[in-house]
Amino acid sequence: QVHLQESGPGLAKPSETLTLSCDVSGYSITRGYYWGWIRQPPGKGLEWVIHMYHRGSTYDNPSLTSRVTMSIDTSKNQFSLSLRSVTAADTAVYYCVRFDMNKVVFDSWGQGALVTVSS
């Protein structure tokens, strides 16, 4: 059974880059599926951020395109999120997810990591 676990700093300063990692166990990232990130700001709904295939195809939220990138390290079975020039509006719980592109459904989620943007 696949398990996803987020890790990274819980605090980021305004204008800096937020970086999170997701360790995947129980399933090889190269076997298929897309992998990605979803976030939930305090008091708001879920927001899709980005998802990516291990061979490079990437889809991201147009509202974040200029600031967001994702990378996959197949040797570590891990993927990462980078969000540049963060503001308080980027404060959220960030979830790493496995995404079934055919059904457009997120079938596995991490527990989530709270990142607060504050000076």
Partner 1 sequence: QSALTQPPSVSGAPGQRVTISCTGSSSNIGAGFDVHWYQRRPGEAPKLLIYDNTNRPSGVPDRFSGSKSGASASLAITGLQAEDEADYFCQSYDGGLSLHVVFGGGTKVIVL
Beta strand 18-25 with 34-40 is unpaired
CB of 50 to partner 1, least distance (A): 10
| b/e code 21-59 from CB counts within 10 Å (16+ = b) | bbebeebebeeebbbbbbbeeeeeeeebbbbbbbeeeee
What x-and-dash track marks residues 51-80 binding partner 1 by CB under 8 A? --------x-xx------------------
Q: Give the closest residue to 90 by CA, choosing from 35, 40, 22.
A: 40
Select from 15-23, 71-79, 82-90, 110-118 the region that touches partner 1 (CB under 8 A).
110-118
Per CB under 8 A, does 4 bind partner 1?
A: yes
Per CB under 8 A, does 108 bind partner 1?
A: yes
Pick the binder of partner 1 from 8, 16, 23, 48 (CB under 8 A). Answer: 48
Secondary structure of residue 51 in the 3-state scheme: strand
Q: Which residues bind partner 1 (CB under 8 A)?
A: 4, 44-48, 59, 61-62, 95, 103-112
